[in-house]
Every structure is written in C-alpha cells, then in structure tokens.
Amino acid sequence: MKDLLLAVCLLAGLALKNSVQTSEWRVVCLKLCKCEVRPWFSPSSMYNEALTVDCNDQGLLSLPERLPSDTQVLLSQANNIAKISSPLESLVHLMEVDLSQNNISSLSDIYLGHLPQLLSLHLEENWLSSLHDNCLAHFPNLQELYINHNLLSLISAEAFKGLNKLLRLHLNSNQLRAIRTEWFHDLSQLEILMIGENPIVRIRDMNFKPLINLRSLVLTRMNLTEIPDSALVGLDKLESISFYDNMFPKVPQAALRQVLNLKFLDLNKNPIERIQRGDFVDMVHLKELGINSMPELVSIDSFAIHNLPELTKIEATNNPRLSYIHQNAFSKLPRLESLMLNSNALRALHRITVESLPNLQEVSLHSNPIYCDCVIRWINMNKNKVRFMEPDALFCSGPLEFQGHLVRHVHFREMADICLPLISPESLPDQVNVGSGHSISMHCRAFADPEPEIYWVTPSGEKILPQMVSIKYYLHPEGTFDIYDISEKEAGQYTCVAHNLIGSDMRSVSVIVNGYYPVPTNESLHVQVKGMEPHSVSISWVPPKGSLVSNIKWSTMSNRLSLQFTAHVLSDVKTFNLTHLHPLTQYEVCVEITDLQSRHLKNCLNFSTTDDSVSKGKTDNGIDLLYSITALLLIVSAVVCSFIYILRRSDPLYRKLINQQSEILPSHIKPMWGSRSKASDSANETDLRKGSI
Ligand SMILES: *[C@@H]1O[C@H](CO)[C@@H](O)[C@H](O)[C@H]1NC(C)=O
Ligand SMILES: *[C@@H]1O[C@H](CO)[C@@H](O)[C@H](O)[C@H]1NC(C)=O
Ligand SMILES: *[C@@H]1O[C@H](CO)[C@@H](O)[C@H](O)[C@H]1NC(C)=O
Ligand SMILES: *[C@@H]1O[C@H](CO)[C@@H](O)[C@H](O)[C@H]1NC(C)=O
Ligand SMILES: *[C@@H]1O[C@H](CO)[C@@H](O)[C@H](O)[C@H]1NC(C)=O
C-alpha cells in the first residue's frame, strides 16, 4: 500500500515536472538561487502556483539577504546553515520554508520571526535535540511540520502550543523515549502523525486522546512488544495505522478494537507466530490488511480473519515460515477481492478457502513450494472464476515426478486423489532454546486430504492428544503444542505426528532448557531379561529421552542353528517377548534405539533359555510353536510396515531402514513395502498402521 502510494506520488511528480512549465519570475534573482513560478501543493493538497526561490544544495552558510519580497516558497535544502540572524518577517507571502539537511542544532539559532502565513516548515535531517515550550508559536497557521531525522530527546509539554491548524507532524527517527499526551493538546486538527523510529519505552493508555481528527498514525520501528488496551482511545477518525517492524508477538487486538473507523492496518514485519480466531474481531470497517514479512508467522488458523464486511484485500506475502492456512481461515468476508499469498512457505491452499470468498477476483500464490497432490489439484480443474496472478511462477516442489513443473502443466488427473499428511519443514524449528520458567509454543501444521489429526509425543514417550488436561502441556486442536513453566526435566525431543486414515508424517523438535539437553548414551540404555522360559524370553529396557523407535535383534550362534531376527517397535514400547526360541540355547539380544537425528544407541546382552524338562511341558509344543511363529511373523511385519509407513516422508532414515531390513530380515519375511509416489496405491495397507506410536 505504501509502495503504491509512493509510486503514485512519484508518477504525479514526474508528470507535473514534464507538463507544467516553470516560468520566469521577473525579479532580479540572487546569485546562487533560482527564482521561478512553480507548481505547489498546499498541505491540504490544493494546487497553486508559487513564486519560488530555490537555493537548494549550494553550500550556503546563511540565507541570502534581500530575498524578493513576494517570495512564497523558500527552498534551502542541503546547505550548511547553522544560524539565521535576520528574520524573514518582511516576506509576508511566505508559505513554505525548507531548511532540511542543514546544520541546525537549536531552534533558537534560527530566528525566522513571526510568520502568520507560513503553512509548511521543513527542518528534517538537522541536529535538533530539544523543542521548548512555545518554540513554534510564531507560526500560528502552520499546517505541516517536519522535524523527523533529528536528535530530539526532549520535547516540552507545550512545545506545540498554538499550532491549532497543524495537519501533519513528522517526529519520526529521533531519540524520544516517551510520548507525552500534553504535546497534543492544541493539535485537535492533526490528521497525520509519524512518530516511529524513536526508542519509545512504552505507549500509555489515552496517549493520543486529544487527536480527535487524526486519520493516520505511524508507529513503525519502535521495538513495541505491546500496546495497552486503551492506548488508542479517542482516535475516532483514525483510518490507518502502521505497526510496521515492531516486536508484537500477537495482534494487539484489544487496542485495535477501540478504533472503530480503522480501514488500513499494517502489521508487517512483526514476530507474530500465528494469526488466530479473534485477532480482528469488531474491526468492521477494515478494508486492507497487511501481514507481510513476518519472520515467525507459521499459520493462519481457522476463522482467523472472520466477519469483516468491508475487507477487500489481504496481503500476506514474504513470510518465510507461513506454511499453513486453515481451510476456514477466511470466512464471512463478502467484499474480499484480492488475496495476496505469494512468497510464503505454503505447500497448498484449500479449495474451500477460495470458494468461501464470494467476491474474490485474484489470488497470488506464486513463489510458494506447492506440493502437487490432491489438496491443490482443484486449481487445475478449470472451474475457477478467480485469476491466479503470475501462473508462470507457480511451480510444483513435489512430489518427485512433478518437481519443477508449472502447476498449470500438471493435469489434475495426474495428481493423487487422497493425500498423506505433510508437515512443512518450515513450521517447526529443529531445536528451541528456552530458559527455565518460560513457556513455549510449537506450531505443527499439516496439509492432507482428509484433514489430518495431530498429536505430540513427549521425550518420555507420553502421547498428548488435543485438549488433553495436563499441568505441563497443552495441545491446541490446530496442532500448537504449549509447554508451561519449563524446567530441565522437560528438555528432550518432542515429536509431532500428523495422521489421517491413510498415513502419517512426523517431525521432531529438540527442546534445550538452560543449555541442557539430555544426550542419550549407550550406557543409558539398560536392557534386562524379565522372564525366561524354554521357548520365550521377555526383555525390557528404558528408552532414553528423545528416542523414537527401537530395533530389536536377537540371534543365536549355537552350532545347530544360526538364525537372526529383527523387530521394530515404537518408542513407547518398553518390553518385548521373544518367542519360538529353542530350549537350552544361548542367544544374544540387542536393542538399538534410533532417533530422528539418526543417532543410534545399542545395548546387548546374552542369555540362555531354560531346559524344557524344567517347565511343566503340558502344552502341545508342536501347535504352540507354530502358533508362536505365525504370531511373531505377523507382529514383526505389521510393526515393520507401519513403522516404515510413518517414516514415509523422512526419507534418509526410511531408506536406511529399508536397506538394513533387506540385509537383516530372514529371507522368509519379505518386505511388504515397495517404492511408491502416490498415496492412493497404499490405501489398502491402512489397518496395519493402527495403534502405532
Ligand atoms: C555544524 O555546526 C557546528 C557547530 O554547531 C560546527 O562545529 C560544524 O563544523 C558545522 N558543520 C559543518 C559541516 O559545517
Ligand atoms: C530496537 O532494538 C534493536 C536491537 O536491540 C536496536 O538496535 C534498535 O536501536 C532499537 N530501536 C529503537 C527505535 O529503539
Ligand atoms: C511370552 O510369550 C509366551 C508364548 O506366547 C508366553 O507363554 C509367555 O507367558 C510370554 N511372556 C510374557 C512375559 O508375556
Ligand atoms: C552406541 O553404540 C553403537 C554401536 O556399538 C555406535 O554405533 C554408536 O555410535 C554408539 N552411540 C553413542 C551415542 O555412543
Ligand atoms: C555374548 O556372547 C558372544 C559369544 O559367546 C560374545 O562375543 C559377546 O561379546 C557377548 N555379548 C555380551 C553383551 O556379553
């Protein structure tokens, strides 16, 4: 929006330069200056022609003497003026003085005299450090005052006294540490206030209250983390507010609700992590919303932008982690025409998201890593009345067979019918550093069709389901996982699992508390024999924090037999029953733990099965053995398949495991998976996954 305005202004300026001829003004002009009639816009944007003395950029140390008495605009920008000793009072038509980019360090050094006709004063880019009471009172009709880019650290309560006509005040880029409400007492006509880029410690309640006609407030680059709920009270005419480049962790919703006439909201470049339900509640006149360049934004959740009858444009671009937009994120937006979502980390956009916007004309989705499977294929089904901007920059990032293709070149029939969950790598960091006593939120979002369900697994293997009650943890239905009042006990690896009826995807985050992370060691993996019988042995172990899967191998090297078996179990399994063993035989069993960072822990022990005759031996051993083998094969293959299935998207580990398996599994246990790229091929394997992790 800002860029557009700027461009329009520049174009207008160029057009004027070319079309409106400046004309000679019949005066004897000064040596270094130009005297011309030039177009001039008043602060209220009225077009005029003004007798202009242009002494810009001449290295002047003081203003020229004997300026033409009918001068209306005096330009002395980019000179080296530090003092003005002869007042300009004789110039009774003077409307504008431009002293920007000079060497002025105090207003008391530049005595301009009483100028009741002055409308516009430019003092930006000087060295002013303070403004004292009544320092501008001799310009009672001033409409524009530019003191931005100075060193102002002190502005007295009555510095702007008497400026009852002021429309525009630029105080940005100074050293102000507080905003004083007293400054504004005479500024009830003010329409534009720019006060960003000051090290303001905090905004206070009612801070701007006297500015009853303010239309635009610019609070950029102030490191603001919050704004009190009543900070904007009184700004009943406010239409536009910019919080560009601050430190807001969430939309300052309560404060914004006070500004009933707000039309343009710029939240760009704030570390907001998610846009959620209620963020824009009651902003009924909002027309344009900017949520661009947010380094932390991961998700726009359900009903995040909801019930805004006048909203016409949403711009959410250049958000490097924005990987998820809930299908109901935008609802009851009857006027929305333009949805700018380019240059994010989106794998998809739901059809419903677009179809729920009745007046939508254009969508910009290019420069996103679009995954060309079923969630996005509606785009190519050719029923859309919306226009996709820059379709030649809309590529598939996957699956492999479509990588690098233009989305519009992939026929929708080629895209899968149902989609496995896909957790965006951008949504979760690999690790989070946190100090004890703090709380953290981790946002796990996945696109899939059918919609996936999400749960998290803690380092101790506890499975946390949405809205489950726990003192330390809370999982929001959308997938955001909160850990409260963290201590070193909570350090470790947390894993998000997204699953739908055809499969799952998972990603892990290492949570490091006060620099502490429980690095698993082989010594910490204790394996022990719990129950020993002639044909079976039960072993148990304690998986260290942060482990995900366990690999169990058992073998015997006795002369008679040379067999090796392998099973995979998931991290919450801590015991395993080895069956169909031979009596009085020595075995070695090894438990190997793998985490998602591909670290391996391994511990082995030797045991010997007991003598058959010692046991009661009443069962029919033949049938029992057959039963055991069948059961084991079923368990092993089911567990192996489900495990591999879950790892579908975690390619390196997946491949490693497949390779291992083909070497280790006895030949009669055939791997049941094959390479596949389309989810639909595997729908019949569904039930094998049930109950995993
Ligand atoms: C600006 O004014 C200061 C005194 O206020 C002087 O010391 C300095 O040399 C001036 N700068 C230039 C570039 O003339
Ligand atoms: C904001 O914080 C940054 C980093 O701490 C600092 O460099 C910058 O000067 C601050 N800006 C303001 C206006 O206080
Ligand atoms: C292990 O399996 C065998 C055979 O199915 C059974 O007899 C034994 O009780 C099981 N042991 C444990 C600890 O479950
Ligand atoms: C544990 O032991 C295995 C095999 O003995 C070895 O490959 C692995 O690097 C060890 N891991 C650690 C963390 O010491
Ligand atoms: C188990 O026994 C084998 C051979 O008898 C030996 O090589 C191996 O080191 C033993 N393992 C353990 C953990 O004691």
Contact 548, 594 (CB under 8 A): yes
pLDDT band at residue 11 under the 50/70/90 scheme: very low
601 CA distance to ligand 3 centroid (A)?
26
In this prediction, residue 206 carries a pLDDT of: 95
Q: Please determine, for residue 593, whether its predicted confidence score (pLDDT) is greater than 90.
A: no
Whether residue 48 has its Cβ less than 6 Å from ligand 4: no
Least reliable range by pLDDT among 73-82, 156-165, 392-401, 553-562: 553-562
Burial of residue 37 (CB within 10 Å: 0-12, 13-18, 19+) is middle
In this prediction, residue 22 carries a pLDDT of: 60
549 CA distance to ligand 1 centroid (A)?
71
Q: Please determine, for residue 502, whether its predicted confidence score (pLDDT) is greater than 90.
A: no
pLDDT band at residue 621 under the 50/70/90 scheme: very low
Residues 6+ apart with CB under 8 A from 481: 441, 442, 443, 444, 456, 464, 473, 474, 475, 494, 496
Does the predicted model carry a pTM greater than 0.75?
no
pLDDT band at residue 500 under the 50/70/90 scheme: confident
3-class secondary structure, 130: strand
3-class secondary structure, 208: coil
- Which ligand is closest in space to the CA of residue 199? 2
In this prediction, residue 521 carries a pLDDT of: 67
Distances from the Cα of 398 to the Cαs of 215, 345, 422, 498, 663, in angstroms?
A: 47, 13, 11, 19, 30
For residue 267, give the nearest of 319, 209, 201, 321 by alpha carbon. 319
- Top mutation candidate among 530, 533, 552, 629 for ligand 3, by most atoms within 8 Å of CB: 533
Give the mean model confidence (pLDDT) for residues 300-322.
96
| Per-residue pLDDT tens over the stretch 35-62 | 999 999 988 889 989 999 999 999 899 8
579 CA distance to ligand 3 centroid (A)?
7
Whether residue 577 has its Cβ less than 6 Å from ligand 3: yes
For residue 374, give the nearest of 324, 340, 421 by alpha carbon. 421
In this prediction, residue 479 carries a pLDDT of: 92
Q: Please determine, for residue 183, whether its predicted confidence score (pLDDT) is greater than 60.
A: yes
241 CA distance to ligand 2 centroid (A)?
21
Peptide bond before residue 228 is cis, with ω within 30 degrees of 0: no
pLDDT band at residue 4 under the 50/70/90 scheme: very low
- Which ligand is closest in space to the CA of residue 221? 2
Q: Please determine, for residue 553, whether its predicted confidence score (pLDDT) is greater than 80.
A: yes
Question: Average model confidence (pLDDT) for the chain?
Answer: 81
Residue nearest to atom 9 of ligand 1 (CA): 103
Whether residue 605 has its Cβ less than 6 Å from ligand 5: yes
For residue 533, give the nearest of 592, 608, 466 by alpha carbon. 608
First vs last Cα of the chain: how many Å apart? 49
516 CA distance to ligand 4 centroid (A)?
21
- State the virtual CA torsion across 300, 333, 1, 184 in degrees, nearest 10: -90
In this prediction, residue 637 carries a pLDDT of: 37
Q: Please determine, for residue 636, whether its predicted confidence score (pLDDT) is greater than 70.
A: no
pLDDT band at residue 425 under the 50/70/90 scheme: confident
pLDDT band at residue 347 under the 50/70/90 scheme: very high
Q: Which atom of ligand 5 is nearest to the CA of 588?
A: 1
Instruction: Say which residue, 164 or 626, is predicted with more confidence.
Output: 164
3-class secondary structure, 194: strand
Instruction: Say which residue, 184 or 15, is predicted with more confidence.
Output: 184
In this prediction, residue 665 carries a pLDDT of: 27
Helices (H), 349-428: 351-355
In this prediction, residue 23 carries a pLDDT of: 62
Burial of residue 496 (CB within 10 Å: 0-12, 13-18, 19+) is buried
b/e 215-239 (16+ beta carbons within 10 angstroms → b): bbbbbbbbebebbbeebbbbbeebb
Q: Please determine, for residue 26, whether its predicted confidence score (pLDDT) is greater than 70.
A: no
In this prediction, residue 658 carries a pLDDT of: 29
Looking at residue 256, its amino acid is L
- Which ligand is closest in space to the CA of residue 127? 1
- Which ligand is closest in space to the CA of residue 576? 3
Whether residue 602 has its Cβ less than 6 Å from ligand 4: yes
Give the mean model confidence (pLDDT) for residues 20-32.
65
588 CA distance to ligand 5 centroid (A)?
7
pLDDT band at residue 660 under the 50/70/90 scheme: very low
In this prediction, residue 524 carries a pLDDT of: 62
Instruction: Say which residue, 246 or 624, is predicted with more confidence.
Output: 246
For residue 189, give the nearest of 165, 208, 216 by alpha carbon. 165
In this prediction, residue 251 carries a pLDDT of: 96
Q: Please determine, for residue 624, whether its predicted confidence score (pLDDT) is greater than 50.
A: no
Distances from the Cα of 640 to the Cαs of 167, 508, 634, in angstroms?
A: 73, 20, 10
Give the mean model confidence (pLDDT) for residues 357-383.
89
The C-alpha atoms of residue 313 and residue 391 are separated, in whole angstroms, by: 20
Residue nearest to atom 8 of ligand 3 (CA): 536
Q: Please determine, for residue 172, whether its predicted confidence score (pLDDT) is greater than 80.
A: yes
pLDDT band at residue 620 under the 50/70/90 scheme: very low
Q: What percent of the chain has pLDDT over 70?
A: 80
Ramachandran assignment for 650, one of left (phi > 0), alpha (psi -120 to 50 degrees), beta (any other): beta
Give the mean model confidence (pLDDT) for residues 637-648.
36
In this prediction, residue 168 carries a pLDDT of: 97
Domains of the chain by range and CATH?
268-417 (3.80.10.10), 419-513 (2.60.40.10), 526-610 (2.60.40.10), 613-689 (no CATH)
Least reliable range by pLDDT among 171-185, 236-250, 385-399, 678-692: 678-692
270 CA distance to ligand 2 centroid (A)?
14
Q: Please determine, for residue 484, whether its predicted confidence score (pLDDT) is greater than 60.
A: yes
| Per-residue pLDDT tens over the stretch 201-229 | 899 999 999 999 999 999 999 999 999 99
DSSP assignment letter at 539: E
